[in-house]
Each structure stands twice: as C-alpha cells, then as structure tokens.
Structure 1
Amino acid sequence: MKDWAMKAPAERDTTTINDAIYAGVRRFLAPLRRAPWWLKVTLLYVAARLVSTAILLGAAWHAEESPWGGRQPDYLTFIDRWDAGWYERIFDGGYPTTIPRNDDGTAQPNQWAFYPLFPLLARALSGLTGLGWPAAGAIVATAAGLAAALMIYKLFRNFATPRTALWGVAFFAMFPVSPVLQVPYAESLGIFLLAAALHLLIKGRYWAASPTVLLLSLSRPAGVPFAAVVLVHLLLRWSHRKREPFPARELAGGSVLLFVSVVSAFVWMLIAWWLTGERSAYTDTETAWRGTGLVLFKPWFDAGVELAGPLWGPVLPVLLVVLAALYLNSRAVRRIGLELRIWCAMYLLYLLAVLHPQSSTFRMLLPLFPLALAAAFISTSRAYRWSVLVMFTLLQIVWVVWLWQFAAISTGQAWPP
C-alpha cells in the first residue's frame, strides 16, 4: 500500500490500465483454456495462416510483372509460382512419357521431379467442386497444413505437456518458411504424412504405419531417411527385447514396415522408369536444375569453396556437421525422444548427401519440425517463447519478400523459394 501511494498519479493510472487490459485478455481467453486440444491447435493454425496471408498480400501489392502474372497480382495468382507451376502442369496433363533432353543428352526440367499425390488430391477436389488449379491447390495445401499441425501436436504429446506441445506447434506454424503451408506446394501434405508415420512408429503401430509411409513417399522425397529411422528403431527394440518384450506380431509388423519403407524410398524412381522406359529418368530430371550429375556430398563442398575460397571452403560443410551433431546432442533436443532425434539426424545426412544448396534449402528444412518442440523445451518463459514467435514473423517477411518475389538475376535466372 505504501509503494502504491508513493507512485505518481500518471504512473498509477498506467498501472491500473495495464492491469485491466491484462485481466480482460485473461477473461477473454479463459474459455480457450478449457477448449479441446484440437480446437486450440486449429485456432492457432488459422491465426498463423492469417499472419502469413497478410505478409503474402503485402508482398503481392509491391510485386512487379513476372512470368506468372502482371504487377500487383491477386492472392491466388501470387502464390501460384515456382514449383506450383510444375504441379499445375501435372494437374492439367500428367507426366511426359519421355524425358525431354537437350542436344547433349542431358535432361531438361520436367514434371518427373515432382511427386504425384498432391496434384492428384487437387485434381480430385477440382472434380468434386469445379474449382480450377489455383484455388484447388491452395485449399488442399492449407487443409493439409492444418492436418499436419493437429498430427504434430499428437506427436509432441508423446514427450511434452499439452502446453509445451502447443507451443511447439506454434513454432512450427510460424516458422519463417511456414507460408509454404498455404501455397500450392506439397510441403504441408508431406509434413502431415511424416508426422503421422513418426507417431505410428513411436507407438509401435507398424501395420498402420506401412501405408502411411507409402503415401509419404508419393508426396515428398523422404523415403530414404525414414527407412533408416525404421531400421534403427527396430534394431534398438530387438537389442532391448529382454527388458522390453518384442512380441512376434510386432516383430512381423516391424519387418513389413521396414520392407515397405525401403521399397517406398525408391518407388517413384521405379514408376518413372516404368512409364518412360528410362532407368535414370528420375535422377536425370532431378539434376536438370543444377546442370551437373548427382555426386553425393560434393555440392556442399563446392558451395563452401564459392563462399569462403579454396582454403577454408571445404571446412564449412564439416563445421556444419559438427554444429548439427552438437545441437542434436543438446539437452533440449534429447528431450524430444530418440526416434525424432534419429529422424532429424538422418534427414540432415540425406540433405547433405543429395541436395544442391541454394535458395530452396530453407524450405527443405521444414521436415526438421521436431526441433520446434526442442525450441519450446529450451525455456518456459513467456518472454522467450513470444520473442521466438515475433522473430519468426519478421523472418517470414524476409523470406517472402526475398524469395517469393520474382527478381531476375545476372545469370538470367531467379532465386526460387
């Protein structure tokens, strides 16, 4: 009481107003505290997508003419860019029966680099509603993003309290590249299927995981690292079978899942081979954008040399691996569970082996979403967690304005998101 009396009148008034606002917000949000988890996740996801929509609309307002439309395009035109255009070709006419090639025999960019499940779902929605590609693709992507958020919450609840799991979902939904969850890309669908497959694996529901993994491998190229996760998971269960029983039925289901995972890792390559008659149809197409053949790990060392020169350049990928290993062994990351840590490690190794580092690399990091839960584990402080969301929002603006905008560079190309 004495401290209150010593405050200046203006300061007392400000304190009273702040307390009233805080109390009002708490009363307004009180019903949400008792709401079911799926409603909380849905509202969180919708709020995140509204923020991203505002950012995309702001960027569209300042957009110049591009290969996809004129100045200041509308929302659906603006998000129908880059890879969305390739999915639109699949939506309209499927895949070519032969690989288009240059005079020197190298493959030209074509639809075989893009997996079929997402455009097929958009095609199905179009058949039911009569919607064209831009709307159908955006709806499927956004709905799949919501399904991913719900599934990620269920996955995170294996390791965290409801509150921390919800914060992990919030970090995922507001991640700097999260606008891709609502544009006609396959990322949101792939994340949903990946989260579902990881959840089923952790729960030991191997029979249900098998078709999920097959669908995952027809949506995004994640089959190879996932098969590695399944193998490590089963080896650990087998080695611990004396302490934790590994019944014959579960062993059989796990063996089937491992077989399906390995086959699924190569299923799209096999389909491309079968339908084109060319054994290297998929790999030739994938490397068409980089202009060179596939040599494992080499592109990262080449990028290091370009950034830091021939002396220190080769050290950069090694330093990246060391930093990643240290982080994956940190206290916060260890709390997300062994399977999720193995997934992150295997996926990073996969990217290091096959990815040509370029502007799309940021988007390729989205399957590392389990690290969003690790970020929530770092601190329970509201100041820390809200600061992360603010930082992610600002970085969303950077990502959209920098990469989603079309700007031709000196080589005559552009930076794709």
Structure 2
Amino acid sequence: MSTSSVPRPESAAPSRPLRPPALSRIARRGIPEGALFALALFAAVRLAGILGVILANDVRGHPLLKTLSHSWDSRWYLHIAAQGYGHKIWITPTGAVQTDWAFFPLYPALIRALTTVLPLTPGQAALIIAWLAAGVAAYGVYAVGHLLYGRGVATALVGLWAVLPHAVELTIAYTDSLFAAFAVWSLYCVLKGRWLWAGTLAALAGLSRPSGFAIAVAVALAAAHEVLRRRGRVPASLWAGALLAPLGWLGYVLWVGGQTGDLLGGYFTVQSAWDSRFDFGVGSARFLKALLLHGGGVVYPAALVIVAAGVLLFALLCLERAPLVLVVFAGVLILLVVGGSGSFSSKPRFLLPAFPLLIPMARALARTWRVRPAQALLVYGALTLVSLTFGAYVTAVARSPL
C-alpha cells in the first residue's frame, strides 16, 4: 500500500460514451470530459435530493428550505457567523453546558465573509458554500479515482458517492462538504507527491471540523512511509507538508483550551458536554444493546447498517491494496465513528468524506457496466431511489439528530 505506487487504470466505460458538443467544448478548455460527465451525474442526483427535501417540507407544511439551512448544527454555525464565539450556550436536561466552542471556525468564517461582500442571508451563504464545496469534493473524488484506476472506475466512484444513503447531508448547511473538499484534494496531492499542497489543504480541513484529525494523520503517516521507503532522501517539501497538516486542527484545539483555561484538555471538556468523546466503543456497544432490546424506528437501525457496511468496505479496501494514505484516512474515520460516543444517528454523516471505502464497489460496478450495462443501471437506479428517499426522510421528517 505505497503512496507512490499507482495501480494500472482499468479500461474506461462505457465503450461508446455520449459526447455532447457542450461537454467537448468545455473539455478542450481544461476540464476532462470524463470528469464533466461524472460531475453532471453528481449534480443531477444531488439536485434531485434537494428537490426531494423541498417536496417533503411542502407536504409537511414546513418552509421549503428551512431544513436545508437551519437544521440542528446549522443553527450554531449561522449564529457563530453572525455573532462570533462565546455568545451561545445550551443547557441540556442533564445539566451539561454546551457551548459554541465545539464547532470549528472555517465554515462560519466563510459564511460571514460571503454575507459581507454579497447581499445574502447567512442561511443562503451557508448553502452556497456547502453546494460549491460538494462539487469541488466530487471533482476531487473523480481525480483520485482516475489517477488510480481510470475513467470508468472514477465515474462509478463519483456516482456511488452521490447516492450514499446520507449524501443529502453534503447539500445542507453543514461542514461535511467543505471538509470533504479539502480532504479529498489533500489526498490527491499526496498521491501526486505535492506535499506542500497536501499539508496546506489538510490544515484547512482541520479548521473545518473535528474529523480533520483523520486527514492530518493520513498525510503524516504517508510522509513517514515515504521517508522510510526512500531511506530519508526526500525533498524538504515533504517535511514541510507533514508539519503543516495537523496545524489547523491542533491550532483550534489549543485556542479553545486557552479560552477555557485548560490549554490541553479544555477542548475535550467542551466536546464531552456534547457527549462527544472517544470511549473505545463503549457508547456504540450500549447503543447496539438498546437497539436490540427496544428497537429504534427507521433512522437508528439504518445508521447501524450503514456503519456496519462501512466497516466491511474498509476490510475490502485493505484487500484491494489501495494506497496507504487512502487506507489510513478511511480507517481513522471508521475508528472515530465506531470508537466514539454521541448520537448514533449522526455517525453515517461522519463517514461521508471516507470515499475510499467505495473503491471496491466502484470497481465492481465499472466491470458490470462493461459487460451488463442494463444490470449496472438497475443497481444504480435502486441505490439512487434509496438515497433520495432516505435523504428526504432524515432531513425533513425524522426528528433524530443529523
């Protein structure tokens, strides 16, 4: 699983691709035609997902865009964008004091910047940022897939990422798409040996959300692997990239510690008030026991299935002998999800950036498309229907935390 060894790209699919003149013109200007098709597919699916949420809101008599821009954590980000930190707390029924320091700063900073220069509400700015970041992330997913396996697998990889059951959360006012955009392109830069860019993008990902820890670890371990493989004869940019990678995440953690008066432990105390801590799977085991004894409607069993599928896909990813940096990134995210506490209904969202988990499925789907395109379309259509239905349900109908 070397960071420098790139598998031979698989043959592209389909054999006679459609080439609309508009796509060809854009492709000649610098964006690969295959990427345009994949991005168009991603945009179409996610636009359908947004329309599904709007329709569900209309049926339930809710404001059409409210659940996209003002759901759960979105309200905290919008408040930070408008008022800054230290102005919002919430006392839970158990007496825990939840503060806005639990939320990383890059997303609200971008919201505030956009509303400063454009006549937008914070909610509108938050959605624009999330939607643009989702598109940038999808392009990065294609770039990684194309580099490793060729156009057919890359297109399938983007298509599968678009129809994850919880992919609707890439297009609400949350940080997941922003984090994914920086993390995916950081991984691409590692695979291309562009270490300064990899470290810089990882640092920005670390300013986006707590799971920025995963990309920092992935970049650092990939750099360490290169040092060992080359017996220390590596460019200075590698060392610089490895040092840059954790600075965003670490900087914010230390800043929160300084605000609380406990430099090293303050951030983790803040997160504990949100029942967010690494407990080595104790919380997940308790959830599983409660689910088996008492049931849990639709959202919680679905979340368990999604997380279990993620663990299985991680095992398959390891068997694929994927590059080390992808395996580490996906593995750390899996570890944080399984070993962390907190509401289980939110855990599938934390796996959204872990697109390498989809590589085994993407390779299988690309192979199926080459020999049985009707079967591949049927499978993809079924996955799309499940994604759109589940996305509308968890966003506009269910009352479980996102």
Specify if TM > 0.5: yes
Counterparts of 1:77 and 1:330 in 2: how far apart (Å)? 35
| Residue matched to 2:4 | none
The yes-or-no answer on 1:288 pairing with 2:279 is no
Structure 2 residue identity aligned to 1:87: Y
Structure 2 residue identity aligned to 1:162: R
**Paired residues of 2:178 and 2:208 also in contact (CA < 8 A):** yes
Structure 2 residue identity aligned to 1:354: G
| Residue matched to 1:43 | 40
| Residue matched to 2:382 | 391
Distance 1:377 1:140, change over 3 A: same
Counterparts of 2:278 and 2:311 in 1: how far apart (Å)? 25
Counterparts of 1:235 and 1:78 in 2: how far apart (Å)? 41
For structure 2, the residue ranges without an aligned partner over 5 or more in a row are 1-15, 294-304
Distance 1:306 1:217, change over 3 A: same
Q: Deviation at 1:392?
A: 2.8
How far does the alpha carbon of each residue in 1:20-41 deviate from its partner, in whole angstroms, 9 at most, with x for none? xxxxxx8975547844334324
Q: Deviation at 1:388?
A: 3.9
2:353 to 356, 362, 367: 367
Give the 5 Å matches for 1:142-161. Answer: 142-161=131-150
1:204 to 165, 189, 193: 193
| Residue matched to 1:136 | 125
| Residue matched to 2:13 | none
How far does the alpha carbon of each residue in 1:255-307 deviate from its partner, in whole angstroms, 9 at most, with x for none? 333333344443222111223434444323323233x8763332122223323
Counterparts of 1:98 and 1:372 in 2: how far apart (Å)? 38
The yes-or-no answer on 1:415 pairing with 2:400 is yes
| Residue matched to 2:300 | none
- More divergent stretch after superposition (51-60 vs 77-86): 77-86
- More divergent stretch after superposition (206-215 vs 351-360): 351-360
Structure 1 residue identity aligned to 2:99: N
Give the 3-state SS of the residue equivalent to 1:109 in structure 2.
strand
| Residue matched to 2:209 | 220
Counterparts of 1:219 and 1:169 in 2: how far apart (Å)? 22
Give the 5 Å matches for 1:129-278. Answer: 129-241=118-230, 247-249=233-235, 252-278=236-262
Give the 3-state SS of the residue equivalent to 1:189 in structure 2.
helix
Q: Deviation at 1:358?
A: 1.3
For structure 1, the residue ranges without an aligned partner over 5 or more in a row are 1-25, 64-70, 310-318, 408-413
How far does the alpha carbon of each residue in 1:215-256 deviate from its partner, in whole angstroms, 9 at most, with x for none? 1001022233223323432343233326xxx6342xx33333
Counterparts of 2:270 and 2:326 in 1: how far apart (Å)? 31
- RMSD of Structure 2 on Structure 1 (CA): 3.2
How far does the alpha carbon of each residue in 1:34-88 deviate from its partner, in whole angstroms, 9 at most, with x for none? 443343243223212221122112211122xxxxxxx331225654211111111
Distance 1:239 1:282, change over 3 A: closer
1:330 to 306, 316, 329: 316
**Paired residues of 2:74 and 2:174 also in contact (CA < 8 A):** yes
- More divergent stretch after superposition (89-98 vs 129-138): 89-98
Q: TM-score, normalised by structure 1?
A: 0.77
Structure 2 residue identity aligned to 1:391: A
Q: Deviation at 1:324?
A: 6.3
Distance 1:293 1:341, change over 3 A: closer
Distance 1:144 1:322, change over 3 A: closer
Distance 1:103 1:324, change over 3 A: closer
Greater relative contact order (Cα < 8 A, sep 6+): 2
Between structure 1 and structure 2, the one with the greater Rg is: 1
Between the aligned residues of both structures, percent identity stands at: 25
Q: Deviation at 1:140?
A: 0.8
Give the 5 Å matches for 1:349-364. Answer: 349-364=335-350
- More divergent stretch after superposition (125-134 vs 395-404): 395-404
- More divergent stretch after superposition (398-407 vs 128-137): 398-407
| Residue matched to 1:345 | 331
| Residue matched to 1:68 | none
Number of matched residues?
Answer: 363
Q: Deviation at 1:111?
A: 1.6
2:101 to 107, 112, 120: 112
Q: Deviation at 1:341?
A: 2.0
Counterparts of 1:46 and 1:303 in 2: how far apart (Å)? 35
Give the 3-state SS of the residue equivalent to 2:98 in structure 1.
coil
Q: Deviation at 1:170?
A: 1.4
Counterparts of 2:311 and 2:130 in 1: how far apart (Å)? 32
